[in-house]
Amino acid sequence: MEYRIEHDSMGEVKVPADRLWAAQTQRSHENFEIGVGIETMPREIVHAFGILKKAAAIANHGLRPEKMTAEKLEAIGKACDEVIDGTLQEHFPLVVWQTGSGTQSNMNTNEVIANRGNQILGQTLLHPNDDVNMSQSSNDTFPTAMHIAAVLQLEDKLIPAAQTLIDTFRRLEEENKGIVKSGRTHLQDATPITFSQEISGWRSSLERDIELIRLAVGPLYELALGGTAVGTGLNAPKGFAESVASEVAKLTGKPFVTAQNKFHALTSKDELVFAHGAVKALAADMMKIANDVRWLASGPRDGLSEIFIPENEPGSSIMPGKVNPTQCEAVTMVAVQVMGNDVAVGMAASQGNFELNVFMPVCIYNFLQSTRLLSEAILSFNKNCAVGIQANKEKMHHNLHNSLMLVTALNPYIGYENAAKTAKKAYKDNISLKEACVELGFLTAERFDEVFHPEEMV
């Protein structure tokens, strides 16, 4: 491999000749061999850095045109566009497990943009610290990248994924109107419910989750950029914070604004904790829905078997013909991961000592993993399972009329205690509710038929 020599304030460093990063990135690459190639800084953070560096250059040009010249701005802007669209992703090798401020990832971005910009210019004009990092500090850029990435993932990926499944459930509700089945509480038979009512519960849960996520997004619109090292805004010109937030808003189409209190913005991660709590709520509902689906589809002969779900792949290496609810299992595993991530996000946020939180990479790594996995799991579940759900009407009818809890309909006519005696006798003697009620002398056969209508109990 060929190398070139780069230098920083600590001296010279050998860097692979075909890479755009420079000395500080190389030092981090060599000093933190933890999860290399596996747990690299999330691509969503790199994308967000491209946005904020372009916005910073535009703001600096407006406020410091003598320093951020039009020529520098154009080169930085073009390099940032390549960072944003992922063209330069291979030049961001650093792992999550680095400095807790994300300084080295900030410098990785600065170095790549400076070197790529110089390539575009055909001359060495841009300096990573003096130009690309102008008016900034890692301490305000990394939390800014966290908020940008979180908002984009929540609004552009997770919410649309959940909405796709909501649309499927709404269709299934319409298609299954009028189908009455046994309800269940405590995994035991309960009073009747329509299948469409049951599906509506799933749909409404997801709709509420979207409402909660939207509420949580609001505080994430506030950006730390402009606070620089400790929140005082040292080395940033007056008006930079407001200007750069406005530029980020223009580039993303999101209503980003500058944080009112930069001391809070640098050290507290409460907005991410709150937002991840909403993500966890969605994961919890998806766990419940996936479990409902696999319970209802259990069988095909010795389970509930009240619905049919798509058969996507063989389920066993030894049992021929076996098919498993694999999409449900994937969703529930992702839900478990999200719940575990919530602990990591909360613990990381609790470590904001004095003027800076130094657990930011692990905080955003877990946050983005949750949004990414949950979005993809919901879409996979929708495409490969939910859209193909069909009611087993015959089994639903059988289970409904075999349920002892239909006796609840008799309460107004024979009373709670007599209804309980009827249910227990029917179960013990393996006879129908009608037979038990008549044998106990609570109702005549004719009167039973007059008052007992399971389909009207919904």
Q: Are residues 374 and 307 in the same domain?
A: yes
Contacts of 264 (CB under 8 A, 6+ apart): 231
368: number of CA atoms within 13 Å, CB side?
A: 26
| Residue pair 193/456 in contact by the 8 Å Cβ criterion | no
Active-site residue, selected from the candidate residues 61, 137, 182, 186: 186
- Is residue 446 situated within a structural domain? yes
pLDDT tier at 20 (50, 70, 90 boundaries)? very high
Q: Are 159 and 214 in contact (CB under 8 A)?
A: yes
For residues 145 and 429, give the distance between their C-alpha atoms in angstroms, rounded to a whole number.
68
Between 346 and 454, the more confident residue is 346
If pLDDT is split at 50, 70 and 90, which confidence band does 216 have? very high
Cβ atoms 48, 101 nearer than 8 A: no
Mean per-residue pLDDT, 430-442: 96
Q: Is the pLDDT of residue 352 over 90?
A: no
Per-residue CA distances from 336 to 4, 201, 219, 284, 331 (Å)? 46, 22, 26, 9, 9
How far apart CA 435 and CA 444 sit, in angstroms, is 10
- Tell me the mean pLDDT in the region 75-102: 98
**Residue 335 structural domain:** 151-173+184-227+255-393
User: What is the radius of gyration, based on Cα positions, of the chain?
Assistant: 30
Residue 33 near residue 234 (C-beta atoms within 8 A):
no
Q: In this structure, what token pair is assigned to residue 45?
A: 């953070």
- 298 assigned to some structural domain: yes
3 state DSSP class of 124? coil
Tens digits of residue pLDDT in 326-336: 999 999 999 99
CATH number at residue 188: 1.20.200.10
Residue 239 resides in a domain: no
Q: What number is the average pLDDT over the span 285-294?
A: 98
Claim to verify: residue 92 and residue 163 sit in the same structural domain:
no
Looking at the structure, tell me whether residues 376 and 427 fall in a common domain: no
The CATH number for 442's domain is 1.10.40.30
Structure tokens at 85: 């669209």
Domain membership flag for residue 336: yes
Pick from 351, 373, 393: which residue ends a domain?
393
Q: What local confidence, expressed as pLDDT, does residue 1 receive?
A: 87
Instruction: Provide the mean pLDDT of the chain.
Output: 97
Assigned domain for 262 exists: yes
Give the side-chain half-sphere CA count within 13 A for 89: 13
Q: State whether 168 and 34 are in the same domain.
A: no
The secondary structure of residue 457, as a DSSP letter, is -
Cβ 272 vs Cβ 345: under 8 Å: yes
Phi-psi sector, 126: left (phi>0), alpha (psi -120 to 50), beta: beta
| pLDDT tens string 135-151 | 999 999 999 999 999 99
User: pTM here?
Assistant: 0.95
Which of 393, 412, 447 is the last residue before a domain boundary? Answer: 393
% of the chain at pLDDT higher than 90: 99
Which of 249-258 are b and which e, b meaning 16 or more Cβ less than 10 Å from the residue's Cβ?
bebbebebeb
Query: Is 204 marked active-site?
Result: no
Closest listed residue to residue 276, CA positions, set 220, 224, 329: 220
What pLDDT score was predicted for residue 227?
Answer: 98
Q: Which of 7, 204, 316, 453 is catalytic?
A: 316
- Measured CA to CA, the distance from residue 290 to residue 454 in angstroms comes to 28
Q: What is the DSSP letter of 137?
A: -
Q: Are residues 217 and 344 in the same domain?
A: yes
What is d(CA 449, CA 451) in angstroms, rounded to the nearest whole number? 6
Last residue of a domain, one of 340, 359, 393: 393
**Domains contained in the chain, number:** 3
Helix (H) or strand (E) holding 230: none
Task: Say if residue 272 is in the same domain as residue 188.
Answer: yes
Mean pLDDT of the region 217-231: 98
Q: Which of 350, 318, 365 is nearest to 142 (CA)?
A: 365
Instruction: For residue 380, indicate whether it is catalytic.
Output: no
Q: Domain check: are 212 and 359 in the same one?
A: yes
- CA dist 427 and 407 (Å) reads 12
Report the C-alpha gap between 359 and 345 in whole angstroms.
9
Assigned domain for 247 exists: no
**Terminal Cα-to-Cα distance of the chain (whole angstroms):** 73
Give the CA diameter of the chain.
101
Other beta carbons within 10 angstroms of residue 29's beta carbon come to: 21
In the block, residue with structure tokens 């298609």: 175
Q: Are residues 68 and 163 in the same domain?
A: no
In single-letter form, the type of residue at position 116 comes to: R
**448 lies in a domain?**
yes
Same domain, 290 and 416: no
Kindly give, in sequence order, each residue whose CB lies less than 8 Å from that of residue 194, ignoring residues fewer than 6 positions away. Answer: 176, 177, 178, 179, 180, 181, 458
Identify the CATH number of the domain in which residue 79 sits. 1.10.275.10
Identify whether residues 276 and 157 lie together within a single domain.
yes
| Residues 127 and 164 placed together within one structural domain of the fold | no
pLDDT of residue 248: 98
- Residue 407 and residue 383 in one domain: no
Confirm whether 238 is domain-assigned.
no
Grade residue 244 by pLDDT with cuts at 50, 70 and 90: very high
